[in-house]
Structure 1
Amino acid sequence: MKKQFKELPGIVKRLAEASSEAAYQELFNILYSPLRKFAFCMLHSNEEAEEVAEDVLVTLWRKRKTLSDINNIHVYALVIAKNLSLNILQKRSRYNTASLDEIDVSFCFDNSTPEQIIIDNELKKRLENAIQSLPPKCQLVFKLAKENDLSYKEIGEVLSISVKTVDAHLVAATQKLAKIFKEEFQIK
């Protein structure tokens, strides 16, 4: 678990006990990006993902007095984000709208030379295309594990699936990605 997530219990305690705006700002700084990335995995829209992340954080502020009762605020926030995202998807399916947003790849590469920048950008595109080719649930589990650094248990809680199902999705994703890259780079 990332260091910043280990600080959450203390931040939540300050937020719940004193309604500290400084604690809320810390909570916002820690959770906003993972919430936005998670929502983007489901919605494929930057605007809607940002809206979901902001709505989750507003909800946390409104419920600040009861947050100390929550065991894992990170997972709790992700569950709220999942539910809000599902609501948006449900509304979207009623109106048959589609998002045309560009995908925001959050991988960091060391870009030291112009040639390296070109190579890194190409690798990012190939990797994102490979990830996008995964089945939706598999893709979501993979991104939660690799981009949001969630444990199998946390992913299971967020998606309401068992740890074994999380493991099965990750194994399938890894095997499919390995197959794609072996074919693409002609590795035996």
Structure 2
Amino acid sequence: MLSNVEINNLLEAISTRDCEKSYKALFVSLHESLYSFAFTFLKSSEDSEEVVSDLFINLWMKRKNLKRLDNPKLYLLIGTKNFALNRLKLNKRKASLQLDDFSMHLESVFFNPEELAISAELTQKIMDAVNALPPKCKIIFKLIKEESLKYHEVSELLDLSVKTVESQMAIALRRIRQCLEFKHEFPEIHSILAKK
């Protein structure tokens, strides 16, 4: 995913110059991540695709009103969540959010080249442990470790208290460590996952 600075630069080009190239670059760079997030609520590929498309159409329609944002990544995730909830209402599905009802598949727990050097077998063990987490833990773990959101940002995004986010993250990390006995077998992995 693009950094907040890169997203703001693209948004500025879209806003001030109606730059279709920047709009396309923003869409291509963020589509997969926003689609994956929408899918956690909708559990429908078609609806998730439409939500992301609607978000970007709305962004283009309101481009003249775009301002530089402190955290554009969070802004777009909140927009995706809101469009997804509207889609749920439109589809006459249950509109109240229960994070335990949603499922999410984590793509990777490794985010830089050094971490990618770990063996495929170990990577699979870690991914199995992460994907075995309860849904709420998994969503919070993904947003913090894969999307690089801060605890207070996840709290705002999911309408949870910061303490709830902290405790769910602690549960996730504890379960992953227990599953793989990180402290003894893989101290270097333990330190990667323990980072906030």
Instruction: Please list the CA deviations of residues 26-62 of structure 1 after superposition, one character each: whole Å capped at 9, or x if unmatched.
Output: 2213322221222233344444333322222222112
The 3-state SS of whatever aligns with 1:150 is: coil
Q: Is the 8 A contact 1:67 1:73 kept in 2?
A: no
Instruction: Please list the CA deviations of residues 103-162 of structure 1 after superposition, one character each: whole Å capped at 9, or x if unmatched.
Output: 865237669xxxx76x47xx53x5444334333322211111122122223222222333
1:23 matches 2:22? yes
Q: Is the 8 A contact 2:106 2:130 kept in 1?
A: no
Q: Is the 8 A contact 2:12 2:68 kept in 1?
A: no
**Cα distance between partner residues in 2 of 1:8 and 1:78:** 13
**Cα distance between partner residues in 2 of 1:39 and 1:178:** 29
**Cα distance between partner residues in 2 of 1:174 and 1:92:** 36
Higher RCO structure, 1 or 2 (CA under 8 Å, sep 6+)? 1
Q: Give the 3 Å change call, closer, same or farther, for CA 38–15 of structure 1 in structure 2.
A: same
Query: Which stretch of the first structure deviates more once superposed, 35-44 or 58-67?
Result: 35-44
Structure 2 unaligned runs (5+)? 95-103, 111-115, 187-196
TM-score (ref. length: structure 2): 0.68
* 1:69, distance to aligned residue in structure 2 (A): 5.7
Q: Is the 8 A contact 2:2 2:30 kept in 1?
A: no
**Cα distance between partner residues in 2 of 1:69 and 1:6:** 10
What residue number does 2:32 align with? Answer: 33
* 1:18, distance to aligned residue in structure 2 (A): 1.9
Q: Is the 8 A contact 1:32 1:57 kept in 2?
A: no
Counting only pairs closer than 5 Å after superposition, residues 1-150 of structure 1 correspond to structure 2 as 4-68=3-67, 70-89=69-88, 91=91, 93=93, 106-107=107-108, 119=121, 123-124=123-124, 126-150=125-149
* 1:174, distance to aligned residue in structure 2 (A): 0.8
What residue number does 1:99 align with? Answer: none
TM-score (ref. length: structure 1): 0.70
Q: Percent identity?
A: 32
**Cα distance between partner residues in 1 of 2:131 and 2:78:** 23
Instruction: Please list the CA deviations of residues 1-28 of structure 1 after superposition, one character each: whole Å capped at 9, or x if unmatched.
Output: x764321222212211222112212221
| Alignment root-mean-square deviation, CA | 3.3
Structure 1 unaligned runs (5+)? 95-102
What is the number of equivalent residue pairs in this alignment? Answer: 169
